[in-house]
Structure 1
Amino acid sequence: MLTINVAVLLAIIVVLRLRRRTEARSRFDEKMTVVIVLALGVILAPTDLGQGIASLLGQLVSGVSQAGQ
């Protein structure tokens, strides 16, 4: 039995869509890419990986804001 992790599948789709040339994209194509990226974010958010990324970004933003003061 073959199982496919939906997050991995969406990540692959995002990478393939973003590799295409900008001129070749229609408005619908751009909107679809945004929807797919949002779906990937919703799927990753509750996972350990998603929490780790959120923590890392929080630390990065905190460091940048402290450096700017």
Structure 2
Amino acid sequence: MQYTVSASALLAIIIFLRLRRRTEARSRFDETVTVVSAVTLGVLIAATPLGNALSSIVASFAAATH
């Protein structure tokens, strides 16, 4: 039996755990690493069908507000 782990799922778990910490305990470098991780997660998700669906939903909300 072989298991695979999606890179985007693993990155989402890491970001979730990093964001649970208190804001006062973070350094600037720690915040930068969190932001870079979140942007990387966005890029990984954008290439999937789920990312395309989310993009179209956000686009329809944006069009409805104008």
Percent identity of the aligned residues? 49
Shift of 1:49: 0.4
Q: Which residue of 2 aligns with 1:14?
A: 15
Shift of 1:14: 1.0
- State TM-score, norm by structure 1: 0.88
Shift of 1:11: 0.7
Question: CA deviation digits over 1:8-54, x for unaligned, max 9?
Answer: 00111111111111001100000000110111111111100000110
Q: CA RMSD in A?
A: 0.8
Give 5+ residue unaligned stretches, structure 2. Answer: none
- State TM-score, norm by structure 2: 0.92
Give 5+ residue unaligned stretches, structure 1. Answer: none
- Give the whole-Å Cα distance in 1 for the aligned partners of 2:57 and 2:45: 14
- What is the one-letter code of the residue matched to 1:25? R
| Count of residue pairs the alignment pairs up | 65
